[in-house]
Structure 1
Amino acid sequence: MNNPTHVIVDPRWAGNTGIGRLYKEVLNQAPINTTCSFIKSDMKVSNPLSPLMLGIQANDSGADVFYSPSFMPPARCKIPFIFTVHDLMHLFYYSGFHKFYYKKVIANLAQKAKKIITVSQYSKLQLEELLGIPGSLIEVIYNGVDRSFFENEESYFSERPYFLFVGNRRKNKNIPAMLTAFAQAKIPKEFIFALSGDEDVELASLISALQISDRVKFLGFIPEEDLPKIYHGAHATMFVSLMEGFGLPVIESMASGTPVLTSSVSSLPEIAGNAALCVDPSNTSAIIAGLERLVNDNDFYLQCVSRGMERAQQFSWETTADQTWKTILS
């Protein structure tokens, strides 16, 4: 019998994020012919010296291959390595140093990878065009959606119908534009806009200026097990982002039977297929029209529900994990 393949994994990405979810699903479905060990370091993933630390530990581990679920590759690594680049947001929405680091350090190390995994054809194209990485090095593996979103029948209790946003507050999420469109849309005032996370000073100021303080609700931290019922209870999900590598909320919402208003740019039309209402995220009038249609056009609304459920069935974490392990072990 062949010895199992020893994979050393960077575990610093674990947590309640999209990357953390990918990490958990891939590790939980490790094949029986593998054994995993883990990088042991308190160094933050954002530390510029991370690649050197990863390379040293990978070389000392005796492992056959290194795997990371996100963008930080090892430097001076003597064993094959595979890592995942979800997006190139750092080139657009972060500091000049981040842009320099990505182009000069990450891009150069990426050329030495056995394989680079990314999560959409859009992100693959960006890797080729912006970082000069050969397409032959890049494997597109979509993220998945948990069965709990399909199976859940509970709804989050809300006295008023709500549009939902789930995600962080980074600039690419386009939250000010969504709030502005919501404030101006000609929809019944009983509708509220519910957002994950807590209120911050910047958003509070905008909400006050838009005079919708009584129509916005912050849901705080949402435990993973509560997400299905929060999606299921929403009238629709708004995820009109300026840029995404994938966009998990799109398929999580669809799997919950909740229509999605999303963007016509970046990876989002690719992931949504013909099952969501895609609008120009830089055009407030287009977002307004989308909101109004999801409230006033019942036939279209029901069509989005049906198409969304069908589209979401095409994504599974089992497939994601299986394709990831085939790439790691190939």
Structure 2
Amino acid sequence: MAAALAQSADPSDRVRGVTAWHRDLTAARAAGVPLTRLPLPARGLVLAWEHRSGPRLSRADLVHAPTPLLPPPSRAPLVVTIHDTVPWTHPETLTPRGVRWHIEMAERAVEQAAAIAVPSQVVARELLGVLPGLEPARVHVLGAGVSAAFRAEPDPAAVAAAVTAFGLDERPYVLSLATLEPRKGLDVALAALALTAAGGPVLAIVGQPGWGGLDLVGAAARLGLPAERVKLLGRVSDPELHLLLRGARALLMPSRAEGFGLPVAEAMAAGTPVISSDAPALVEVAGQAALVVAREDAGALAAAIERVLTEPGLAESLSAAGRAQAASYTWPKVAERAWALYRSLVRGAN
């Protein structure tokens, strides 16, 4: 989003990023966006801003906090992005401290922010139900975008090479892209895989460990799944993810709750059929371009997997519908909506 904001800025606009103190800023850089490094490291900055102290961003005309970690008050209008309502609707899928922190910071955002940005209409509606004092006029749906690289046609040889490099070339595979934590429903995905035929697909899981200590290898063994049918790939680069999506027969998104569901949009942009849960935000993002099954229903998920693998016409129609649906998810469109919001707030503050 930062790069898209910089690319679409008017000549009189400037976009600057602010980050905690890190020795290496490579991961924080975006094209066309100069960085200011604050004097506190990440943990110290979080603690300071939690207590409404520490560095203030007083030289900006507007500040956008892309997470509920918001800086101390200043004269500049503040926009805060709240990505989902999981701390209220599914607190059991987070740590108790995580629930408290997100709710407290969201309540502070209601007090301090001129606008609350959200990724989907679902989150907008749900926030209005859980945050007293938040008026509908202050909630703005900015959406999210998919990197243009996911829409490009890769060399088939590059796809084959990536599939082989990750050990996925022996049988068809379905892909799941998620942080390894309870909210993502990976236990349901494993249970569904166990219900498919013995010679069925491999489940390849891309994602880094989160909280909850999920033992997916142990869970697979308890379900009687052979080790070769579950591949934990860890974190991969965007180019690798693009190739792995192109090689997959489907993306599985069995989440219990989401605020947007970027993997669904990325898979659709790549032309990969999507099978998702009926979490409301996922239904909103996918439109009519996914097979949707009830959350927690491993049998329905297994049936959907088998349909995509055995019905070529269904896979082709999902692929085509997904590409059309994903065309609306671009970072330039997000930036256009954001600039309109910023300018209205700055005009109102003057």
Whole-angstrom CA distance in 1 between matches of 2:308 and 2:83: 30
- Asked if 1:11 corresponds to 2:11, the answer is no
1:198–1:218 CA contact under 8 A, matched in 2: no
Matching residue of 2:187: 176
1:55–1:76 CA contact under 8 A, matched in 2: no
Measured against aligned partners, the alpha-carbon deviations of 1:1-28 in whole angstroms (never above 9, x if no partner) come to x99456664435x9xxxxx99x87xx64
1:120–1:142 CA contact under 8 A, matched in 2: yes
**Which amino acid in structure 2 is aligned with residue 189 of structure 1?**
G
2:179–2:208 CA contact under 8 A, matched in 1: no
Offset at residue 67 of structure 1 (A): 1.5
Whole-angstrom CA distance in 2 between matches of 1:54 and 1:10: 16
Pair 259,54 (structure 1): closer, same or farther in 2 beyond 3 Å = farther
Offset at residue 46 of structure 1 (A): 8.9
Offset at residue 65 of structure 1 (A): 1.6
Matching residue of 1:243: 257
Pair 54,84 (structure 1): closer, same or farther in 2 beyond 3 Å = farther
The number of aligned residues is 314
Matching residue of 2:139: 138
Pair 279,40 (structure 1): closer, same or farther in 2 beyond 3 Å = farther
Whole-angstrom CA distance in 1 between matches of 2:102 and 2:67: 13
Whole-angstrom CA distance in 2 between matches of 1:135 and 1:326: 17
**Which amino acid in structure 2 is aligned with residue 209 of structure 1?**
R
Measured against aligned partners, the alpha-carbon deviations of 1:130-168 in whole angstroms (never above 9, x if no partner) come to 123221111101111112111132423223210001120
Counterpart mapping for 1:304-319 below 5 A: 304-319=318-333
Matching residue of 1:275: 289
SS in 2 for 1:67: strand
Q: TM-score scaled to structure 1, two decimals? A: 0.85
Counterpart mapping for 1:278-297 below 5 A: 278-297=292-311
Whole-angstrom CA distance in 1 between matches of 2:65 and 2:219: 38
The one of 206, 209, 224 equivalent to 1:196 is 206
Counterpart mapping for 1:206-221 below 5 A: 206-212=219-225, 213-221=227-235
RMSD between aligned alpha carbons? 3.0
Pair 198,78 (structure 1): closer, same or farther in 2 beyond 3 Å = closer
**Which amino acid in structure 2 is aligned with residue 320 of structure 1?**
V
Pair 315,3 (structure 1): closer, same or farther in 2 beyond 3 Å = closer
Offset at residue 321 of structure 1 (A): 1.9
**Which amino acid in structure 2 is aligned with residue 163 of structure 1?**
V
Matching residue of 2:317: 303
Whole-angstrom CA distance in 1 between matches of 2:200 and 2:94: 37
Pair 230,96 (structure 1): closer, same or farther in 2 beyond 3 Å = same
1:73–1:106 CA contact under 8 A, matched in 2: no
Identity of aligned residues (%): 24
SS in 2 for 1:327: helix
Whole-angstrom CA distance in 1 between matches of 2:187 and 2:39: 40
1:257–1:306 CA contact under 8 A, matched in 2: yes
Whole-angstrom CA distance in 2 between matches of 1:7 and 1:285: 49
Pair 4,37 (structure 1): closer, same or farther in 2 beyond 3 Å = farther
Offset at residue 39 of structure 1 (A): 4.4
Counterpart mapping for 1:38-187 below 5 A: 39-44=38-43, 47-52=46-51, 56-59=55-58, 62-91=59-88, 92=91, 93-132=93-132, 133-153=134-154, 154=156, 155=159, 156-157=162-163, 158-186=169-197
**Which amino acid in structure 2 is aligned with residue 146 of structure 1?**
S
Measured against aligned partners, the alpha-carbon deviations of 1:254-278 in whole angstroms (never above 9, x if no partner) come to 1111101001123000000000001
Q: TM-score scaled to structure 2, two decimals? A: 0.80
**Which amino acid in structure 1 is aligned with residue 176 of structure 2?**
F
Offset at residue 252 of structure 1 (A): 0.7
Offset at residue 74 of structure 1 (A): 2.5
Whole-angstrom CA distance in 1 between matches of 2:221 and 2:315: 30
Structure 1, unaligned stretches of length 5 or more?
Answer: 15-19
User: Which 4+ runs in 1 deviate beyond 6 A?
Assistant: 198-201
2:115–2:138 CA contact under 8 A, matched in 1: yes
Structure 2, unaligned stretches of length 5 or more?
Answer: 1-9, 164-168, 345-350
1:161–1:192 CA contact under 8 A, matched in 2: yes
**Which amino acid in structure 1 is aligned with residue 65 of structure 2?**
S
Pair 118,79 (structure 1): closer, same or farther in 2 beyond 3 Å = same
